[in-house]
């Protein structure tokens, strides 16, 4: 794994669990959900989550910037937690940047930190980050490193699809 070769990132994210492979079908499903605002898909996707999601002290959705949230109308990660009936802990905020999907793999992996943490003492907590897709792992690792610095015992992630 490319991440494990860099000491600053090694062990930041314990593991990722994904429900589906990011194939052509899932690409269309997630585009319809995320970019075309088909919120009903949150209910369908959440029904798969309930038996597969790992246990955690805090379920933390990957946040959108205020600008992106305004454009989209909802946070797709937070909607999954809500529809799955799981508690949602908004511990992170995000600054507005260019969309990850518009960047190259190299640009994604070397990008600057885009998150801020609202709570600074998470001593001993087990955190599960929630996102729609895992591609390079950059977004999740940037969130995880802040949570680890705040004392989290373990940070893992759960995504709908993995590319």
Instruction: Write down the pLDDT at residue 101.
Output: 67
pLDDT at 59: 97
What pLDDT score was predicted for residue 47?
A: 94
pLDDT at 6: 79
Torsion angle defined by CA atoms of residues 109, 111, 117 and 123, in that order, rounded to the nearest 10 degrees: 40
Q: What is the DSSP string of the chain?
A: -TGGGSTTTTTSS--EEEEEE--HHHHHHHHHHHTS--THHHHHHHHHHHHHPPP-SEEEEPPPPHHHHHHHSS-HHHHHHHHHT------EEE---S-GGGS-HHHHHTPPP-EEES----TT-EEEEEEEEESSSHHHHHHHHHHHHTT-SEEEEEEEEE-
Predicted pLDDT of residue 15: 95
Model confidence pLDDT, tens digit, residues 34-61: 999 999 999 999 999 988 999 999 999 9
Q: Which of 85, 88, 89 is nearest to 43 (CA)?
A: 85
The pLDDT tens digits of the residues spanning 80-107 come to 999 999 999 999 999 877 776 677 777 7
Prediction pTM value: 0.90
């Amino acid at each position: 794994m490319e991440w494990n070769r860099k000491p600053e990132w090694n062990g930041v994210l314990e593991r990722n669990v994904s429900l589906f492979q990011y194939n052509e079908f899932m690409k269309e499903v997630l585009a319809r959900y995320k970019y075309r605002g088909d919120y009903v898909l949150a209910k369908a996707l959440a029904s798969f989550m309930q038996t597969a999601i790992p246990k955690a002290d805090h379920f933390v959705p990957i946040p959108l910037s205020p600008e992106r949230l305004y454009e989209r109308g909802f946070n797709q990660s937070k909607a999954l937690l809500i529809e799955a009936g799981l508690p949602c802990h908004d511990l992170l905020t995000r600054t507005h940047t260019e969309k990850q999907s518009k960047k190259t793999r190299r640009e994604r992996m070397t990008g600057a930190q885009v998150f801020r943490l609202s709570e600074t003492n998470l001593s001993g907590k087990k955190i599960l980050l929630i996102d729609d897709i895992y591609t390079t792992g950059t977004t999740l690792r940037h969130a995880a490193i802040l949570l680890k610095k705040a004392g989290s015992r373990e940070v893992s992630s759960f995504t709908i699809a993995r590319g």
